[in-house]
Amino acid sequence: MILEITKLHSYKKSQAEGTYLMIEMQELKTRKWYRTYINPNYHNFKRWRTVAREGNQIALMETIMKTENIISADSRPLLLEGRRVLKNNQTKEESLKNLARLGVFG
């Protein structure tokens, strides 16, 4: 599944889960909309933090669906095109497309 991140909502608070961030995405092939919720207190947050930027295109290596349009944050995103987000909110061009252009893969 290849998705484009279309919107990052601001952090919200929940009594049960604490602080979380909702990410909206659209599948490029079918144009179907999906979303996921990430929480900084959970281990899967680090998987999404670096790719969570509007306009980034990601592939889900292991797609785990919670409902028809909610993707579990336990899914593994891989940046295809866009900029990786670093800890200090700076970005770094490390997409597979750009790495291939630089000849990293031979």
- Over the chain (106 residues), what is each successive 10-residue block's mean pLDDT? 93 84 95 95 89 91 92 92 65 57 54
Whole-number Å distance between alpha carbons of 44 and 92: 21
Confidence at residue 103, expressed as pLDDT on a 0 to 100 scale: 59
Confidence at residue 89, expressed as pLDDT on a 0 to 100 scale: 54
Whole-number Å distance between alpha carbons of 11 and 85: 16
Q: Please answer whether residues 3 and 52 qualify as being in contact, where contact means their C-beta atoms are separated by less than 8 angstroms.
A: no
Strand partners, 79: 58
Whole-number Å distance between alpha carbons of 46 and 104: 24
3-state helix, strand, coil in the chain (%, to 5): 10, 40, 50
Fold of 2-101: OB fold (Dihydrolipoamide Acetyltransferase, E2P) (2.40.50)
